Chain A
Amino acid sequence: MSSLLFERSSDDRLIAGVCGGIAARLAVDATLVRLVFAILALAGGAGILVYLALWIYARGRRALPAAILFAVASAAILFALGLSGTALLGATLLVAGFVTVLAAGGSLRPGGSVPRLGVVLLVAGAVIFLGRSGASGGFLAPGAVAGALVLVVGPWLWQLTTERTERIRLQERAEVAARIHDSVLQTLALIQRHAGDPVRVSTIARRQERELRRWLYGSGVSDAESLVAALADAAADVEELHGVPVELATAGDTRLDDGTRQLVLAAREAMTNAAKFSGAVEIAVYAEVGADTVSVFVRDRGAGFDRTAVAPDRRGIAESIEGRLKRAGGTATIVTAPGSGTEVELRLPRSKS
């Protein structure tokens, strides 16, 4: 079967699959081929005859009836053009070009051989058609222009876009591979080495989970500059340093500026305190970006403490949390009592920018 110029397409067919087959062979869209046949059909029914000829050829490789039909079709085209030397030359060149492309095993797929001779013949044929179509063959002119453009430029454009898509896909694949190597594989190696230490293993696993999740569902580059991303970073650091899980919930997000950076630092300090001193098994952090306030809540169900019993110079709370928020123009409230856990509420007016 491979000795055939083309095979009728069994799945891409409207009538007998001839157009689909040619399209598959040339690696172009079947609609384009059908368009060419439709235009040819206008030329005294030549397109229909050519179609029949190709059908007969493809069915039984009976070259003779096909050739006769071809000849009739050519005559019809020439008749439609008003028989003339240039039209004959143009038609011959077009047919020759077409056959050359097919016969040269011409595939216009990326990387496939491109039969230059065939393309040259097609272009020449189209140009000659164009040159003489001004007077009598008015209806053929647009068809010839479109045909020439489609035949010559179409495949190249198509090839270019496919190559580009392919390249982008390869690039993405490489990025994913690099990312997985740097993160997941390293983490798995770490887990194997620390198999005997469940706390460490679960911390490593959680951190990895966070990173992957942010990469998969985050919004990409700008993430590092957002409040939620910065809080997630802080939470992951605290988890890793102190081995206490931090659950982060958020409503809304905003870009980081000087004020919100201070807010994140204060929240981080609050998480650290909770992890170090409360004895709680989990810390809950909630950030809400409202219309005019950004709020962060850091809560634990741990030991709690008596504010009055803490020395006023303990820098953690006074300086790192309350002082920091005050300087940024916000407020910090600490609600706690021995035995009932601690909640640090940080509120910052949104800067109007």
Chain B
Amino acid sequence: MKRRVVLVDDHELFRAGVRGEIAASVDIVGEAGTVAEAVPLIRELDPDVVLLDVHLPDGGGEGVIAGVTQERPAVKFLALSVSDAAEDVIGVIRAGARGYVTKTISGSELEVAIERVAQGDAVFSPRLAGFVLDAFREGEPLGGDAELENLTPREREVLQLIARGYRYKEIATRLHLSIKTVEAHVSSVLRKLQLTSRHELSRWAQERRLV
């Protein structure tokens, strides 16, 4: 069965491009260009996955997630952006997106990412993995809940390989793990990213702006 997908991006041209690339393998049931359009549309259509631009004219992708999750908790969000600002990307992930890929991703890789997110797994692009490693930097205990505030050595290893451009399968081979275990590590990182104390991550974001 094809996954039902809603596209949220304010660039009609980009939406058309994505549609052309993935329409064969997924069912694009709706499109929106603003937060105000997207929220009622997603609530009504109840898709499997929403491809969500990080930046929208009337607010961030965060606004769309916040407006939908209460009523449609099963809808999964995959952030899609050209934005390089780490704070924005981390912000959307913390709001509840299951992953982040850059807009230069190929059609086939996007299809894989959509399927993975639909199954409840996390999708980290190399760039996001770098941002996360930066936010959870080693040797800087962030205080609070130690289990949530720090990555395990294994999670760190997996993230570093993602940042280096390895696919889950390649990581599994290299670390002698099953793909399922790799996915579990990535999901665990995602959970920590979403649950860790807001205060510490905003300090990180502040510092980044000052560097």
Q: A residues touching B (Cβ–Cβ < 8 Å)?
A: 206, 209, 213-214, 216-217, 219, 245, 247-253, 282, 284-286, 288, 290-291, 297, 299, 343
Contacts and interface: CB of A to CB of B under 8 A. Distances in A.
A251 B134 contact: yes
A291 B84 contact: no
Given A251-B134, A291-B139, A217 B126 contact: no
Interface stretch (B19-27, B38-46, B157-165): B157-165
29 contacts: A213-B83, A213-B84, A216-B84, A217-B84, A219-B209, A245-B104, A247-B102, A247-B104, A247-B126, A247-B127, A247-B165, A248-B127, A249-B129, A249-B163, A249-B165, A251-B130, A251-B133, A251-B134, A253-B211, A282-B165, A284-B164, A284-B165, A285-B165, A286-B126, A286-B160, A286-B164, A286-B165, A291-B139, A299-B165
Contacts of B165: 247, 249, 282, 284-286, 297, 299
Most buried by A among B84, B102, B138: B84
Interface in B136-185: 137-139, 160, 163-166
B36 interface: no
Please classify how large the interface on chain B is, using the bins under 10, 10 to 19, 20 to 34, 35 or more: 20 to 34
Given A209-B82, A247-B104, A252-B134, 12 more contacts: A213-B83, A247-B126, A247-B165, A249-B126, A249-B127, A251-B131, A284-B165, A286-B126, A286-B164, A288-B160, A297-B165, A299-B166
Residue among B125, B133, B134, B165 with max Cβ neighbours from chain A (10 Å): B165
A217 B85 contact: yes
B137 A252 contact: yes
Contacts of A291: 138-139
A297 B84 contact: no
B25 to A, nearest CB: 20
Interface in B96-151: 102, 104, 125-127, 129-131, 133-134, 137-139
Contacts of A206: 104
Nearest to B87: A217
Contacts of A249: 125-127, 129-130, 163-165
A250 B130 contact: yes
Contacts of B131: 251
Contacts of B125: 249
A251 B45 CA distance: 38
Contact of B163 (A214, A286, A343): A286
A284 B126 contact: yes
Contacts of A284: 126, 164-165
A297 B164 CA distance: 6
B129 to A, nearest CB: 6
A219 B211 contact: yes
A272 to B, nearest CB: 17
A145 to B, nearest CB: 42
A251 B85 contact: no
Nearest to B137: A252
A299 B164 contact: yes
A282 B160 CA distance: 18
B126 A288 contact: no
A213 B82 contact: yes
A295 B137 CA distance: 14
A67 B127 CA distance: 74
Contact of B83 (A217, A250, A282): A217
Contacts of B137: 251-252
A245 B139 CA distance: 34
Contacts of B102: 247
Contacts of B127: 247-249
A286 to B, nearest CB: 4
Nearest to B132: A251
B176 to A, nearest CB: 16
A245 B133 CA distance: 23
A64 B101 CA distance: 75
Q: Of A209, A213, A217, A286, which is in contact with the most chain B CB atoms at under 10 Å from its CB?
A: A286
Nearest to A291: B139
A290 B131 CA distance: 13
B207 to A, nearest CB: 11
Given A217-B83, A217-B84, A286 B130 contact: yes
Contacts of A213: 82-84
A214 B84 contact: yes
A2 to B, nearest CB: 39
A285 B166 CA distance: 11
B155 to A, nearest CB: 14
Contacts of A285: 165
A204 to B, nearest CB: 14
Nearest to B140: A291
A284 B137 CA distance: 21
